Structure 1
Amino acid sequence: MNAPFIPTPSLIDVARRMVPRYTSYPTAPHFSPAVTAETYGGWLEKVRDRGEAISLYLHVPFCRTICNYCGCTTKAALRDDPVRAYAASIHDEIALFAERLGPVEVSHIHWGGGTPNILPPDCFEALVRDLGNRFRFRPDMEHAIELDPRHVTAEGARRLADLGINRASLGVQTLDAAVQKAIARIQPLPVVEASFAHLRNAGITAINADLMYGLPLQTLDTIRDTAERVLALEPSRFAIFGYAHVPWMKAHQRLIDEAALPDAVERIRQAALAREILERGGYVEIGIDHFALPDDALTLAQDERRLHRNFQGYTDDAATTLIGIGASSISRTPWGFAQNAPDNHGWRRAIESGRLPTVRGKAYEGDDLLRAAVIEDLLCAFEVDLAEVAARHGASVDGFEDDVRRLAPLVNAGWVEVRGSRVAIRRHRHEIARVVAAEFDAYLGRGGRHSTAV
């Protein structure tokens, strides 16, 4: 193993900056009520007229218990009644979309949460059938679901496979007992191993493992132990996310002892160690926080510059429209973003009245699409040709002069290279990519609080 990575003071300062994750641009803090249900409905009719394949995201905002670290929009549901009521409203929302979209083709479906498999089996099956009846599933459609390993059973895995689920993401996070206790998520290694086995025995072999760094009580040793143990399970892909401590947004995070959180130096070292272990294990780095095997579709997309970044992370999904279904879900269209009501009651009331539950969003304006393309290139390929992107959007590269000028400290440090119209991140890519991207964000500083870059 290489010598321990010791970040310099200047790198620590950069990694401490509060910047967006850039799973969208413009980012969610800049959404407003100016995008209404009527606005979004008009966009959907344009999507129908284009005749292109779309992607679907279905949000299930329920868990049996809430983990202390969770940053998702979800709530605890000990009984099935509220989950069943929610599923019934999802059917009605699907009908509203189908009225505007028609039998459009679907290339990707992703179930997130929360814990999507908290849906009772008959409810889940009915929703999948409803989607299949109203839309046209591509034969090669990726049908993915996020799963809590504690709730994966042999029977449940078989049901998922029978309904066409062909990729699962398991939230492993950490295998250290002390850290698990601190985040209120107890799942020993045998539980995780069993979830892998159940999925594979059911025929779901594309399995992602999600890990985290920066959790309370985590150390380099616990990071190493978790990464090596999960590596032995041979997932198809890994994602390694830094814990975002945002107690001003997620009140339950106040249960975490801030004194037990790793500092900026330790966070950087933990992320670097995890990357080193996975690379040594044969995985290819994908962007800033994903890893995949050399022959994986995500690796090929990166090699061929077809990689994209959306609300679910890195993807090879080329669809320009992503329809978010469920409370708080965000949709992306070629004309802008639309977000559903975040509270279940408000979301349900809108649907019951026959209206799309849109409460806010952001229509593209000015150079939004141009800057979105620049930011996506930086986060997917760590480089961008500003002249090429500007020409593709009918704009002048001169509009980036101030943005490039602000990169001077990173250029002088030897971390970023600017040659003509090309900007490339040469060193510390994972630590500074979001910071570099932020220099091209025309909205940054106009409100909203973010997590640290690492």
Structure 2
Amino acid sequence: MDDALILKYASPVPRYTSYPTAPHFSETVGQAEYQSWLDAIEPGEALSLYAHVPYCDRLCWFCACHTKQTLRYDPVTTYLNGLHREIAAIGGRVNGQAKVTALHLGGGSPTLLRPDDLIALRQAFNRHFQFSSDCEISVEMDPNDLDEARHDALAAIGMTRASFGVQDFDPVVQKAINRIQTYEQTRDAIEASRARGVRSVNCDVLYGLPYQSLSSLEATIDAVLSLAPDRVALFGYAHVPWMKKHQSMIPDESLPGIVERFAQMSRAAEMLVAAGYEAVGIDHFAKPGDSLAIASREGRLRRNFQGYTTDSAETLIGLGASSIGQFRQGYVQNMPATGEYLRQVEQSGLAAMRGYMLTPDDRLRSRVIAAIMCDFAFSFSRLRAEFPECAGTVIEEAKLFRARDVDGLTAIEDGFFRLTERGRPFARSVAAVFDAHLQSGRGRHSVAV
């Protein structure tokens, strides 16, 4: 890939786990709208739940999540009391016949929770929601937190997918990002999960980290492959110290340049595909028999705030500080600050602070951007059928972009706007072409490669 081309399309753009993206949420959408959206959930509707645990016993310098370090468990206990209140309040508003098809525990570090608290959290969900028999229970795992009792508790709550943060196994890189985690720790944690019946394991790997080289990343990928995960998420490190102050602990000069980042991404992807994994979307890889790979081949891949998913539920309810929910009507986000979150749930059981009400144009563009991010293509005829009154605008934008695309990133064939093989690494940049909100100046983003 030509260096000039990489630099041309590396400008900062959103990751598009939603459209519009979170910087465009406002306080014009709040508790009242959230309550009405919860009340509108229909009998038998599929629900996805996300619960956020905003605590870690150490703070990794690379992390861009809403979390904080704590060396005491008392704040966690207080927070869990509030989370239980929110679960009860939302469960009381949601139609009792709605079925939860996916539950994701994220953070922060949900594996920081004590075993009895993990079990109590699942029991709280069971009291207030109805779960489908094949519900997927996924948990973000930090091997440094795990012991036999926690592994047993995770099995007791029915965890079906374990997602392990690896980042990089190189000791120099680990020291630079304050994430010391040996290969042996990771291997033992994965084996313990599998021994208790977990049928799917994901490993997160980062490129673009401080002091990371092509050879060190290759060694990490080799080590990850030896663990035989069912999925690998290959993310580019998002250096956003203006948003996450602790990232200033990472010296700018220690980071690889854009062209080197692209080389790291390309080499890691090449190794994963050579090992038999199928590329899924822009940054995931899965074994051919994994549900994510199957969904990608069948055109059923979806994208939400947790990334790529097979979850088909239209409604995602976010619980906990900073969590974002997605509804047919729009998005809603909880208070990020834990103290204010707890105050709100104590008063009303809900903690919504801002959101966004979707317009017809937003729904159209959301569909187009999701199709680019998931399938690298969208159909003109399907857009016209689903959005007869406004599809023409986006179709003309697609044709205009293709006419000006001197770099061969896209093609229009058989009524489809498609990204070429040359264009797929720049899917975020192409998706941004259809983002009507991007030029408003709200939000700063990480580089696109």
- Do the two structures share a fold, i.e. TM-score over 0.5? yes
- How many pairs were matched up? 447
Which of these residues, 433, 446, 453, is aligned with residue 448 of structure 2? Answer: 453
SS of alignment partner, residue 318 of structure 1: coil
Structure 2: tracts of 5 or more residues without a match: none
Partner of 1:22: 16
**1:437 matches 2:420:** no
Indicate how the Cα distance of structure 1 residues 430 and 192 shifts in structure 2: closer, same or farther if over 3 A, else same: farther
Letter in 2 for 1:395: E
* 1:141-194 deviations in Å (ceiling 9; x for gaps): 100000112222233212201210111100000000100010011112111111
**Partner of residue 69, structure 2:** 76
- Write out aligned runs for 1:205-220 (5 A): 205-220=199-214
- Alignment counterpart, residue 92 of structure 1, candidates 81, 85, 90: 85
1:71-111 CA deviation, whole Å, 9 max, x = no partner? 00000011110001111101100111012103231000000
Aligned twin of 1:227 = 221
AA matched with 2:60: C
**Does residue 316 of structure 2 align to residue 322 of structure 1?**
yes
2: CA distance, partners of 1:252 / 1:396: 44
Equivalent-residue separation in structure 1 for 2:393 and 2:354 (angstroms) = 29
- Residue aligning to 1:398: 392
Equivalent residue of 1:394, what SS? coil
Match of 2:3 in 1: 8
Residues 382-412 of structure 1 show CA distances to partners (whole Å, capped at 9, x for unaligned) of 0111331232123343212552255247732
Task: Kindly state the Cα deviation for residue 431 of structure 1 after the two structures are TM-superposed.
Answer: 2.2
Please state whether the residue corresponding to 1:407 is helix, strand or coil: helix
Q: Identify the match of residue 147 of structure 1 among 106, 130, 141.
A: 141
Single out whichever of 411-420 and 247-256 deviates more from structure 2: 411-420
Deviation at 1:430, TM superposition (A): 4.1
Conserved 8 A contact 1:55-1:109: yes
CA contact (8 A) 1:7 1:265 kept: no
- SS of the residue aligned with 1:445? helix
Structure 1 residue 357 and structure 2 residue 345: aligned? no
Task: Label 1:406 to 1:262 Cα distance change in 2 as closer, same or farther (>3 A).
Answer: farther
Measured in 1, the distance between the counterparts of 2:428 and 2:145 equals 34
Return the alpha-carbon distance in structure 2 between the equivalents of residues 403 and 448 of structure 1: 24
Counterpart of 2:201, as a letter, is I
1:4-39 deviation digits (Å, cap 9, x = unpaired): xx543123211x211100000111010000111011
Partner SS for 2:241: coil
Corresponding position: 1:57 with 2:50 = yes
CA distance in 2, matches of 1:29, 1:440: 17
Q: Secondary structure at the match of 2:378?
A: strand
Q: Show CA shifts across 1:197-233 (max 9, x none).
A: 1111222131100000000001100110000111011
The answer to whether the aligner puts 1:281 opposite 2:291 as a matched pair is no
Q: Distance in 2 between matches of 1:167 and 1:87?
A: 22
1:148-297 pair list within 5 angstroms: 148-297=142-291
Can you list the C-alpha shifts for 1:267-316, whole angstroms capped at 9, x where unaligned? Answer: 00000000000001110000001111101111111111111000111011
Give the aligned residue type for 2:61.
N
Partner of 2:94: 101
**Amino acid paired to 2:358:** Y
Q: Classify the secondary structure of the residue corresponding to 1:367.
A: helix
TM-score, length-scaled by structure 2: 0.97
Tell me the amino acid that sits aligned with residue 47 of structure 2.
Answer: I
**Measured at CA, do residues 88 and 186 of structure 1 come closer, stay the same or move farther in structure 2, by a change above 3 Å?**
same
Identity of aligned residues (%): 42
Shift of 1:248: 0.3
Q: Partner letter of residue 34 of structure 2?
A: Y
CA apart distance, 1:118: 1.0
Provide the secondary structure at the position in 2 that maps to 1:164. Answer: coil
State the SS of the aligned residue for 1:73.
coil
Give the direction of change, closer, same or farther, for the CA distance of 1:102–1:388 in structure 2 (3 Å limit).
closer
Match of 1:453, as an amino acid? A
- In the alignment, structure 1 segments of 5+ residues that lack a partner are 1-5
Give the conservation status (yes or no) of the 8 Å contact 1:96–1:356: yes
Q: Secondary structure at the match of 1:398?
A: helix
Q: How does the TM-score come out when normalised to structure 1?
A: 0.96
Moved over 4 A (4+): none
**CA shift at 1:52, angstroms?**
0.4
- How much does 1:419 deviate? 3.4
**For the residues of structure 2 that align with 1:372 and 1:155, how far apart are their CA atoms?**
43
How far residue 355 of structure 1 moved from its aligned partner, in angstroms, is: 4.4
Match 2:420 to one of 417, 426, 450: 426
Supply the distance in 2 between the matched residues of 1:254 and 1:229 (Cα, whole angstroms).
Answer: 29
Give yes or no for contact 2:231–2:284 (8 Å, CA) kept in 1.
yes
